[in-house]
A and B are shown apart, each in its own frame.
Chain A
Amino acid sequence: MAALQDILQEFHRIAASPQEQMKHYLAQNKKIVVCSPVYTPEEVIHSMGLLPFGTWGTDMEIKEAKAYFPAFICSVMQSILELGIKGAFDGASAIVIPSLCDSLKCLGQNWKYAVPGIEFVPMTYPQNRNTTYGKEFTKAGYQRVIADLERITGETFEDEKLHKSIEIYNAHNQAMREFSEYAKNYSVITAADRNAVFKSAFFLEKSEHTALINQLLEALKETELADVKKIRIVTSGILADAKELLAILNDNNIQVVADDIAQESRQYRVDCPIAATALDRLAEKFATMNNCSVLYDVNKGRASYLTELVQENKADGIIYALTKFCDPEEFDYVVVKKICEEKEIPLLLIEVDRQMVNYEQVRTAVQTFSEMLG
């Protein structure tokens, strides 16, 4: 069995080299479909023999995309378009972009003009998803994706094959949840390691990623738990993958014991249940997903969910990493702040951005939070 650090290194390598991964799959004559955030139905793409390849953009200076976006808009979207314009996804057959927030809608529309070589496939989700008509709407969205992908790639969709892909994705969800549960107690798993495990999932075929996770879990089970006192934190937000931020968490003796990050655990909380057809299974899954700023919820249950995460994981506090200009996350923060004050849960708000170059303010805030809790 490979040593723990070797396996972690492999996750870091994959997470840091999406373009190498793309080349690797293209060399095997795989047809790649880029999956934009958030909740792109990867299972459908996978079942058609295509390779879903996730992207959340990257930390970079945005230049070309500025011609298409206003200045004050989510930099995740801007960096995805910038990568597209600069050829980072060249060789991909299509990109699927869901419609779950206004910025994503802009990304889809701009993509058509900015990156004409990679066809844009919209995935339109309903706001009211857990009703009969909502599920039908979701299924109609999937059918549009299927029809577009059949036309673009020449591959065909079969419900039976989707059942098989769903099982692969359910197994992956399970592995990711198990990893998160294990990682919280192992001080050897740094915030950067944890993030690399989650991030690498976007650049590997899911059964390959599950196999790697299972190796990691085996290695962890054989690792002795170190008696190290760390500050136990739950992270929340759209993404928290900047190297500098992860290093700051580490420098301040912080262990991420659970997350409510869209790029991380939010993807893996809910499995596809049993239903009449495989597409119904997918629609059922989307209907029952919750606790996310871009999934409409009149009761804003995410706030209570976060406090439960704190209690279940014996966390000392929450770091809310607010992606700059993300309206859905800004709206949720108010509710989260209120419930944290009621329950006396320490909450730190930091602002993150794909274009950040200076983290000194974040460093001071995290250090103060750590000193306050330590």
Chain B
Amino acid sequence: MYTLGIDIGSTTSKCVLLEDGNKIIATSLVVAGIGTNGGIKCMNEVLENAKVKREEIAYIIATGYGRKNFSEANGELSELSCHAKGVHFADPEVRTIIDIGGQDAKVIRLNSKGILENFLMNDKCAAGTGRFLDVMATILQVPIAEFETQARSTKEPAKISSTCTVFAESEVISQLANGSKVECVIAGICNSVASRVAGLAKRVGVKEEVFMSGGVARNGGVRDALERELQVSIKYSEHSQLMGALGAALFAYEKIGAAE
């Protein structure tokens, strides 16, 4: 039996197709989020990859910022519940999840059964989110994919505040005007995101093991900075971005089980 989880975020859509609640058949990721056809495109792509027809899917759960508007779904759940579920399935030892997405950051605490026991979201501010990195990448004209290498190439990060994206933007420009090297500014930007998110994590209480999910998890510069801020090692998977969709697919399977 197939179930599908779709995570429609602010900037990307992710799908996971699951067989019998335990085997990932296919995944897809489309760089188009809420308000676009990213959701449908993403679902069609995963079906095509798996050579599975829409009518063969027993249940679909949508999650993410666009969860309410995806008409193909049979149900919807919050992305925090889904990330918790997905990460616990992938790594049952994880007790704290740091999820930094396109426009928000969340810290989720799990118990040993993978049940969400506490969480915190950032306040309405782009600082400490993927959006912050996007803005900075545009100013520096450096692709985000290069942030990791650049941040790791220096031991002298510039000081960039973590209070506000707009203030940080003018700080970055000032740093460049004062002759700071681009890699130092990038390392400072990664530190800034980490500092902001570490504050959230400390409020929830960091319990090892710690896993990073969401799109920003791909950025090793931010992961390194978070490890330094929190003084813990942070786990990461190349599928980190898919954890919400995986959790949704798992919940979809449970729904079918409950119905039967």
Contacts and interface: CB of A to CB of B under 8 A. Distances in A.
Main secondary structure, interface of B, reads mixed
Interface residues of B, number: 16
Contact of B80 (A346, A360, A364): A364
A349 B107 CA distance: 13
Contacts of B116: 368, 371-372
A351 B77 CA distance: 21
A368 B78 contact: yes
Contacts of A58: none
Contacts of A349: 120
Contact of B121 (A346, A358, A361, A372): A361
B79 interface: yes
A365 interface: yes
Contacts of A367: 77-78
Contacts of B117: 372
A364 B78 CA distance: 6
B219 interface: no
A358 B117 CA distance: 26
Given A351-B124, A361-B124, A368 B104 contact: no
Given A360-B65, A361-B104, A372 B81 contact: yes
Nearest to B116: A372
Contacts of B120: 349
A371 B121 contact: no
Interface string B100-133: 0000100000000001111111011000000000
A364 B77 contact: no
Contacts of B78: 364, 367-368, 371
**Max chain B Cβ within 10 angstroms of own Cβ: one of A360, A361, A372:** A372
A367 B78 CA distance: 6
Contacts of B119: 365, 368, 372
Contact of B79 (A358, A364, A372): A364
B127 to A, nearest CB: 14
B245 to A, nearest CB: 16
Nearest to A350: B121
Contacts of A372: 81, 115-117, 119
Interface in B68-109: 77-81, 104
Nearest to B83: A368
B84 to A, nearest CB: 9
Contact of A368 (B80, B115, B123): B80
A360 B121 CA distance: 12
A84 B123 CA distance: 30
Contact of B123 (A351, A358, A360): A351
B124 A371 contact: no
**Max chain B Cβ within 10 angstroms of own Cβ: one of A358, A368, A371:** A368
A224 B123 CA distance: 42
Nearest to B119: A368
A364 B124 CA distance: 13
Interface string A328-355: 0000000000000000001001010000
A52 to B, nearest CB: 35
Interface of A: 346, 349, 351, 358, 360-361, 364-365, 367-368, 371-372
7 contacts: A351-B124, A361-B104, A361-B121, A361-B124, A365-B119, A371-B77, A371-B81
Given A361-B104, A364-B79, A372-B116, 9 more contacts: A346-B118, A351-B124, A364-B80, A364-B121, A368-B81, A368-B116, A368-B119, A372-B81, A372-B115
